[in-house]
Amino acid sequence: MTQQRGARPIESRSIAQWLLKYSHKKVDLAEYASTWKQWLQNTNNKILTGIEDFAYSDYTQGTSQTFDHFLLRNHKREITIFPGEFQYHQCTGRHLKFSDKINHNSAVIISVPFSDFGKVHPFLFDTLQKCNQFDVPVCLDLAYWGISKNIELHLEEFPCVTDVTSSLSKPFFTLEQHRVGIRFCREYANDGISMINEVGMHNSYSVGLGTHYMNQFSCDYMWETYGDSYYATCSDLNLQFTDTVIFGLGGEEYHEYNRGVPGNNRVCISNNLGDL
């Protein structure tokens, strides 16, 4: 089997077979949002509280659509992205003012767990406290929530967090092409995402499909099912364990996997874990 630089879901037989059992039925956005909130919090290996304070929920095309509109709403601010973040931000960063510092005119996007580390960024909570202090808007990216563990996130402590987004592309093989995402906002965003949802132009097939998966598989399922194989594979490949079931961290022999953080070589091992 081969390792990868990117991030790909585990090719799980049970996940793939569940797709074959899907018969499309319309799911309204209220049910979709409620299912998401339950799915994110129904976990034994991590904690999320305060999501109930986010009164506005929208279907999104994965997490990337949320990022685009967060940037549009904050285009007059300096966007803070830490080194090693989701590669998508490198593309949008060519057209906006990006920084890895925080000031009173910042807006922050950060992944939890952090994209390059496979675990919570060591500066996450200091960053959120500073954003509280400076009244800086933050978008939290929970794209890896369904493949992670050992996270404790209490959103009620961080009013700076204006947007929370997640998707099912990483936990559920077969869904990465369906773009099943969600955005939660504390306040009404009044942007393109809001409009698309309000007039019923969202992808209703993906809404139904995502609900079908979340009702069957918890956000702990990938660790519960593939955790033992993960640890064995990392040991065989001389990789350090992370809190994300598809990533290990390699030494100098994996230098070609480096994504910008010196000495941090994130290796995707999902190809070694699947059972298809």
CATH of the domain at 33: 3.40.640.10
| 207: Cα separation from own chain's centroid | 17
Question: Rounded to whole angstroms, how far apart are CA atoms 130 and 141?
Answer: 18
pTM of the model: 0.95
**What is the count of structural domains for the chain?**
1
Q: How far is CA 75 from CA 45, 111, 172, in A?
A: 36, 20, 33
Contact 250, 267 (CB under 8 A): yes
End-to-end CA distance of the chain: 13
* pLDDT on residue 81: 93
Q: Residue 273's pLDDT is what?
A: 95
Q: How far is CA 239 from CA 113, 114, 118, 155, 266, in A?
A: 18, 18, 12, 32, 9
Q: Is residue 274 part of a domain?
A: no
56 belongs to a structural domain: yes
Asked, for residue 109, whether it belongs to a domain, the answer is yes
Angle at 118 between CA 114 and CA 123, to 5 degrees: 40
Task: Per residue of the chain (276 residues), give pLDDT as tens.
Answer: 678 788 999 999 999 999 999 999 899 999 999 999 999 999 999 999 999 999 999 999 999 999 999 999 999 999 999 998 988 877 787 777 788 889 999 999 999 999 999 999 999 999 999 999 999 999 999 999 999 999 999 999 999 999 999 999 999 999 988 999 999 999 999 999 999 999 999 999 999 999 999 999 999 999 999 999 999 999 999 999 999 999 999 999 999 999 989 999 999 999 999 988
* 82 in a structural domain: yes
Is the four-CA dihedral 151, 154, 155, 158 of positive or negative sign?
A: negative
pLDDT at 276: 82
Residue 249 is assigned to a structural domain of this protein: no
**259 within a domain of the structure (yes/no):** no
The pLDDT of residue 122 is 96
Residue 81: give the domain boundaries.
26-214
Residue 21 belongs to some domain of the structure: no
Tokens of 77: 């601010």
> Residue 71 domain-assigned?
yes
Q: How far is CA 182 from the centre of its chain?
A: 10
